[in-house]
Amino acid sequence: MAEKSKMMVIGGTRYIGKFVMKVSAKSGHPTFALMRESALSDPTKACIIEDFKSSNINIFQVSTQVKDQDMIVAAIKAAGNIKRFLPSEFRNDVDRVYSVEPAKAILAFKGKIRRIVDVKGIPHTYVCCNSFAGYILLTLAQLGATTPPRDKVFISGDEM
């Protein structure tokens, strides 16, 4: 019987990550999760994390933000044994979207990460879900909000 591939998911408590984690562990793959401290201390994610632990998923705490992906790419290249990299692309295809600030700066950085992945020759797949599952609509696209605003909505680019 062939050896199972090791799976590591960065951000395993979010929309796609939690499903990838469960399927990986259920399929018998040694599964690892890199999670932010904020995810580990978030009461709304406690149930998901306990489910991971009971599925023998190894959890490691790290500081991973979009801006840290260049370090992750460097580690992937240095390891030399990574079969596939699926970068954080849960919103839009950064090479095919026009945006205004503050999203424009984030998308530009994600584009930079794509170029680094290409240059380093790392096998990759971009999964662009175009803000599915109400990620944007949940708060009416108000950055930092946890609930929809009740009185006023800021529309990016509307100040032009």
Q: Which residues are catalytic?
A: 110
Distance CA 57, CA 31 (A): 5
**74: which residues sit within 8 A by CB, 6+ positions away?**
none
Sheet with 7-10, side-by-side order of all strands: 7-10, 31-35, 58-61
**15: which residues sit within 8 A by CB, 6+ positions away?**
90, 129, 132, 133, 135
**40: which residues sit within 8 A by CB, 6+ positions away?**
49, 59, 61
Q: Which helix (H) or strand (E) holds 35?
A: strand 31-35
